[in-house]
Amino acid sequence: MMKNKKTRTLLYHGGIWALGFLMIYPILWTIASSLKPESEIFRNAASLIPTEWNWGSYAQGWEGFGNLTFTTFFINSTFVTTMVVIGTLFSSTLVAFGFARVNFRFRTPLFVCMIVTLMLPQQVTLIPQYILFHNLGWVNTYLPLIVPAFIGGIPFFIFLMIQFIRGIPRELDEAAYMDGASTFSIFWRVVLPLTTPALATVAIFSFYWTWDDFMTPLVYLNDTKLYTVALGLQMFSDPSSVSAWAPMFAMSVVSIVPQLLVFLFFQKYLVEGITAGSVKG
Amino acid sequence: MAQEMKVEGRVQKSNKLRSQLRTDLIGLGFIAPWLVGFLGFIVGPMLVSLYFSFTNYDLLSTPVWIGLENYVQMFTNDDRFWKAIRVTFIFVFGSVPLKLAFALFVAMLFNTKRRGVGLYRTLYYVPSILGGSVAIAVVWKQLFGMNGAINDVLGFFGISGTDWVASPDFALSTLIILVVWQFGSPMLIFLAGLKAIPYELYEAASVDGANPVVQFFKITLPMLSPVIFFNLVMQTIHGFMAFTQSFLITEGGPMDNTLFYAVYLYEKAFAHFDMGYASALAWVLLLICALFTAFIFRTAKSWVYYESEGGN
Beta-carbon contacts below 8 Å between A and B: 254
- Residue contact A102–B27, C-beta within 8 A: yes
CA distance linking residue B170 with residue B71, whole number of Å? 32
Taking CA–CA distances from A122, the nearest residue in chain B reads B241
Domain count, chain B: 2
CATH placement of domain A63-280: 1.10.3720.10
Average per-residue pLDDT for chain B: 86
Do B101 and B234 lie in a common domain?
Answer: yes
For the stretch B94-139, pLDDT in tens is 999 999 999 999 999 998 888 888 888 888 888 888 888 888 888 8
Measured in angstroms, the CA of B139 and the nearest CA of chain A are apart by 7
Q: How confident is the model at residue B311 (pLDDT cuts 50, 70, 90)?
A: very low
Nearest to B282 among A105, A123, A249 (CB): A123
A206-215 burial, b if ≥16 CB within 10 A, otherwise e? bbbbbbbbbb
| Extents of the domains making up chain A | 2-54, 63-280
Alpha-carbon distance B58 to nearest alpha carbon in chain A (angstroms):
10
- Predicted confidence at residue B188, as pLDDT, reads 87
Say whether A215 and B248 touch across the interface (CB within 8 A).
no
What is the DSSP annotation of A156-219? HHHHHHHHHHHTS-HHHHHHHHHTT--HHHIIIIIIHHHTHHHHHHHHHHHHHHHHH--HHHHH
Would an 8 Å CB–CB cutoff place A255 in contact with chain B?
Answer: yes
Given an 8 Å threshold on Cβ–Cβ distance, is A208 in contact with B129? Answer: yes
Expressed as residue numbers, the domain containing B123 is 77-309
CATH code for the domain of B281: 1.10.3720.10
Tell me how far apart the alpha carbons of residues B218 and B205 are, in angstroms, rounded to a whole number.
9
Q: Verify that B81 and B208 share a domain, yes or no.
A: yes
| pLDDT > 70 in chain B, percent | 94
Q: Is the pLDDT of residue A36 over 90?
A: no
The burial of B6, by beta-carbon neighbours within 10 Å (0-12 exposed, 13-18 middle, 19 or more buried), is given as exposed
Distance in angstroms (rounded) separating the CA atoms of residues B204 and B294: 37
User: Are the beta carbons of B114 and A103 separated by less than 8 Å?
Assistant: no
What residues contact A153, with CB distance under 8 A and at least 6 apart?
A: A91, A147, B37, B41
Domain shared by B27 and B83, yes or no: no
Residue-level pLDDT at B9: 67
Q: Do the domain assignments include residue B70?
A: no
Instruction: Please give the single-letter amino acid code of residue A118.
Output: L
**Three-state SS at B148:** coil
Q: Are the beta carbons of B131 and B182 closer than 8 angstroms?
A: yes
Chain A partners of B42 at a C-beta cutoff of 8 Å?
A: 117, 120, 125
Residues B273-291 have a mean pLDDT of 91
Q: Residue B91 pLDDT more than 90?
A: yes
Kindly determine whether residue B30 and residue A94, on different chains, have CB atoms separated by under 8 Å.
yes
The per-residue pLDDT for B312 is: 36
A236–chain B nearest CA distance, Å:
10
Q: In the prediction, which pLDDT does A280 show?
A: 45
pTM of the model: 0.87
> Chain B: residue nearest A24 by CA?
B127
pLDDT at residue B165, as a whole number: 83
**End-to-end alpha-carbon separation of chain B, Å?**
63
In a domain, B19, yes or no: yes
Q: Determine whether the interchain pair A24/B270 forms a contact, defined as Cβ–Cβ distance below 8 Å.
A: no
Query: What's the whole-number average pLDDT of chain A?
Result: 87
Closest CB from A45, A208, A219 relative to B270: A219
Summarised one tens digit per residue, pLDDT across range A206-252 is 998 899 899 999 999 999 899 999 999 988 887 666 667 888 889 99
Assigned domain for B280 exists:
yes
Looking at B17-31, B53-67, B94-108, B141-155, which range is the least confident one? B141-155
| Alpha-carbon span B253 to B262, nearest angstrom | 14
Q: Verify that B187 and B104 share a domain, yes or no.
A: yes
Say whether B139 and A267 touch across the interface (CB within 8 A).
no
- The conformation of residue B169, written as its DSSP 8-state character, comes to T
Q: Report how far residue B214's alpha carbon sits from residue B220's, in angstroms, rounded to the nearest whole number.
A: 9
Q: What is the pLDDT of residue B31?
A: 93
In-domain check, residue B265: yes
If asked whether residues B99 and B235 sit together in one domain, one would say yes
A164 reaches B (C-beta below 8 A)? no
- What one-character DSSP code corresponds to residue A118? H
Which residue of A24, A103, A127, A186 is the best one to mutate when testing the B interface, meaning the one whose CB has the most B CBs within 10 A? A127
CA end-to-end span of chain A: 43
Average pLDDT, stretch B50-69?
89
B99 and B240 together in one domain: yes
Residue B227 covered by a domain:
yes
Put simply, whether A110 touches B (Cβ < 8 Å) is: yes
Task: With beta carbons under 8 A apart, name residues in chain A contacting B33.
Answer: 90-91, 94-95, 150-152
Q: Specify the pLDDT at position B16.
A: 82
Separation in Å, CA B98 to CA A74, B180, B286: 36, 7, 24
Q: Is A61 on the interface with B (CB under 8 A)?
A: no
Same domain, B16 and B121: no
* pLDDT tens-digit series, residues B211-261: 888 999 988 998 888 888 888 888 888 888 889 888 988 888 788 889 999
Do B32 and B146 belong to one domain?
no
Q: What is the Cα–Cα distance from B58 to B65, expressed in whole angstroms?
A: 13
Q: Do B123 and A24 touch (CB under 8 A)?
A: yes
Determine the distance in angstroms separating the CA of A41 from the nearest CA of chain B, rounded to an integer: 9
pLDDT at res. B4? 60
CA distance B299 to A89: 37
Q: Is B294 among the domain residues? A: yes
A60-94 per-position pLDDT tens digit: 888 887 788 899 999 999 999 999 999 999 999 99
User: Can you tell me the mean pLDDT for B153-162?
Assistant: 80
B35·A45 Cβ contact <8 A? no
Residues B152 and B254 in one domain: yes
In this structure, the answer to whether residues B42 and B104 fall within a common structural domain is: no
Measured between CB atoms, which of A30, A134, A148 is closest to B59? A134
Using a CB-CB cut-off of 8 Å, the residues of chain B touching A233 are: 134-135, 138
- pLDDT band, residue A17 (cuts 50/70/90): very high
Determine what percent of chain A is predicted with pLDDT higher than 90: 32
Dihedral angle sign, alpha carbons of residues B163, B166, B170, B173 = positive
Q: What would the pLDDT profile of A135-175 be if each residue is shown by its tens digit?
A: 899 999 999 999 999 998 788 889 888 888 988 888 888 88
In a domain, B72, yes or no: no
Looking at the fold, whether B109 and B174 belong to one and the same domain comes out as yes
Inter-chain residue contact A104 with B126, CB threshold 8 Å: no
Share above pLDDT 70 across residues of chain A, in percent, rounded to a whole number: 95
When pLDDT is averaged across residues B159-187 and rounded to a whole number, the result is 87
Q: Is residue B58 part of a domain?
A: no
* d(C-alpha B218, C-alpha B208), whole Å: 13
